[in-house]
Amino acid sequence: MKKLSIIIPAYNEDKTILKVLNRVNTTKSDKINYEVIVVDDGSTDDTKNILNANSHLYDQLISNEKNIGKGGAVKIGIETATGDYIIFQDADLEYDPEDIIKFINVFIEFDADVILGSRFSYDRYTKSHNFYNKIGNKIITIIFNLLYNTTFMDIYSCYLCFKKNLIIASELKTNGFEQHAEILSKIISNSKNYYEVPINYNGRPISEGKKIRWYHIFSVIKEIIIGKFIK
């Protein structure tokens, strides 16, 4: 049976980490094996204590002594993963773990290489977006589609699922918000069979810790271009 590695980077998410882990576990089925990997990225709140008290909800816990950023945590997660497939699950409940089932079904039915979750072709709900962030997303999605000959609707959805053999973690050069573009560029370049599924989205505002800003669009576009023309 195939294995799905679910990588959960977490930094100061004591309000949601237990809910995320419980919801992930409710999606388990006999279709695929799970490997749940939590990367605690130097949390200073109660996240680590909650994780230590609920070790039955994950397979591996990696604890960074200090915060190295989501990109660094993602790299560690990919290096640790032993599954045939990888999916990134945010620890803040912006993305609903119940949607993991949709990714699994597409993998099984179509032998997909890459699957993106779309917040714009959503399932039951999506939270209203910041207008300027949405415009920025549209711009980078159009650029990506033009360069890579794809038809994605939402390339900066962080719900990304792919075959592990499409990427080598040690080759990733970025650690910031642009890392998603670097990963997506690499796996699309190395694959032929990709899909998009509707997901639910409950985005956090800046006041609740949302860190991405409009100016990150420039580093993202840079990585998209590098991924296409510089090997």
- List, as one string, the DSSP characters of 90-113: -TTSSB-GGGHHHHHHHHHHH--S
pLDDT given for residue 76 in this prediction: 96
Contact between 85 and 162 under an 8 Å Cβ cutoff? The reply is yes
* Bridge partner residues of 6 (DSSP): 36, 87
- pLDDT > 70? residue 129: no
pLDDT given for residue 78 in this prediction: 97
Instruction: Kindly report, residue by residue over 79-98, the tens digit of the pLDDT.
Output: 999 999 999 999 999 999 99
| Alpha carbons 80 and 8: distance in angstroms, whole number | 12
Identify the structural domains of the chain with CATH numbers, from first to last.
3-229 (3.90.550.10)
Q: 3-class SS at 115?
A: strand
Q: Mean pLDDT throughout 1-9?
A: 97
Threshold 0.85, pTM exceeds: yes
Contact between 8 and 33 under an 8 Å Cβ cutoff? The reply is no
Contact between 114 and 195 under an 8 Å Cβ cutoff? The reply is yes
Taking alpha carbons only, the member of 209, 10, 1, 197 closest to residue 90 is 10
pLDDT band (50, 70, 90) for residue 211: low
The more confident residue out of 208 and 166 is 166
Taking alpha carbons only, the member of 195, 176, 2, 218 closest to residue 103 is 195
Q: Which residues contact 175 (CB under 8 A, 6 or more apart)?
A: 68, 69, 70, 71, 72, 75
**127 alpha carbon, distance to own chain's centre:** 18
Q: Mean pLDDT throughout 141-152?
A: 96
